[in-house]
Amino acid sequence: MTTQPIEKESTSFQWTAHLELFAALLSGLLIAIAWSIGKSGMENASIILYIIAFLIGGFAKAKEGIEETIKDRQLNVEMLMVFAAIGSAVIGYWAEGAILIFIFAVSGALETYTLNKSHKEISALMGMQPEVAWLIEEDGAVSQVSTDSLSVGSVLLVKPGERIPVDGIIVSGMTSVDLSAINGESVPVSRGEGDELFAGTVNMSGAIQIKMTKPSSETLFQKIIQLVQNAQSEKSPSQQFIERFEGTYVKVVIATVLIMMVLPHFLFGWDWTTTFYRAIVLLVVASPCALVASIMPATLAAVSNGAKRGVLFKGGLHLEHVGSLKAIAFDKTGTLTTGKPIVTDFIVRNGKDSEEVLALLASIESQSNHPLAMAITKYAVEQGVQIPSAPQIEDVPGYGIRAFVGDNEYLVGNPRFVGEDAVHGFKEDVAMKLAGEGKTVIYMKNHEGIVACAALRDTLRPEAADAIRDLKQLGISPIMLTGDNQLTASAIAKEAGVEKYVSECLPERKVEEIKQLLREYGTVGMVGDGINDAPALATATSGIAMGDGTDVALETADVVLMQNDLNRLAYAVKLSRKMQRIVKQNVFFSISVIVVLILSNFMQVVDLPLGVIGHEGSTILVILNGLRMLNPMNKS
Contact 227, 556 (CB under 8 A): no
| Least confident span in 98-107, 207-216, 323-332, 592-601 | 98-107
What is the number of alpha carbons within 13 Å of residue 437 lying toward its C-beta? 14
| Least confident span in 244-248, 606-610, 626-630 | 244-248
Contact 315, 234 (CB under 8 A): yes
CA 572/CA 563 separation, integer angstroms: 14
Strand partners, 480: 330, 501
Residue-level pLDDT at 8: 44
Percent of the chain whose predicted confidence (pLDDT) is above 90: 17
CA 188/CA 196 separation, integer angstroms: 14
Contact 137, 154 (CB under 8 A): no
Strand partners, 594: none
CA 623/CA 499 separation, integer angstroms: 43
Residue-level pLDDT at 185: 45
Distance, C-alpha 500 to centroid of its chain: 27
Residue-level pLDDT at 4: 43
The 10s digit of each residue's pLDDT in 123-168 is 555 556 678 889 998 888 888 898 888 888 999 999 888 888 888 8
Residue-level pLDDT at 180: 57
Residue-level pLDDT at 62: 74
pLDDT, average across residues 624-631: 86
Residue-level pLDDT at 623: 83
Residue-level pLDDT at 475: 94
Residue-level pLDDT at 545: 86
pLDDT, average across residues 546-564: 73
Question: Does residue 407 have an active-site annotation?
Answer: no
Residue-level pLDDT at 322: 92
Residue-level pLDDT at 631: 84
Q: Annotated catalytic residue: which of 331, 529, 533, 558?
A: 331
The 10s digit of each residue's pLDDT in 339-387 is 778 898 999 988 889 999 999 999 998 887 777 888 899 999 999 988 8
The 10s digit of each residue's pLDDT in 252-309 is 888 888 888 888 888 878 888 788 888 888 877 887 777 777 887 788 888 888 888 8
Q: Is 165 helix (H, G, I), strand (E, B) or coil?
A: coil
- Check pLDDT > 90 for residue 471: yes
Residue-level pLDDT at 196: 84
Backbone angles phi, psi at 599, to 5 degrees: -65, -40
CA 477/CA 467 separation, integer angstroms: 12
- CA nearest neighbour of 245 among 76, 464, 46, 477: 76
Which domains, from first to last, does the chain contain? Answer: 3-124+230-303+575-630 (no CATH), 151-215 (2.70.150.10), 325-337+461-574 (3.40.50.1000), 339-460 (3.40.1110.10)
- Check pLDDT > 80 for residue 324: yes
- Check pLDDT > 60 for residue 186: no
The 10s digit of each residue's pLDDT in 424-456 is 778 777 777 887 777 878 899 998 888 999 998
Alpha helices of 384-460 — where are they, by DSSP H? 415-418, 420-424, 430-436
Residue-level pLDDT at 2: 40
- Check pLDDT > 50 for residue 480: yes
- Check pLDDT > 70 for residue 591: yes
- Check pLDDT > 80 for residue 502: yes
pLDDT, average across residues 208-226: 75
pLDDT, average across residues 93-97: 76
Residue-level pLDDT at 552: 59
Contact 268, 603 (CB under 8 A): no
Confidence of residue 614 (pLDDT cuts 50, 70, 90): confident
- CA nearest neighbour of 580 among 317, 327, 314: 317
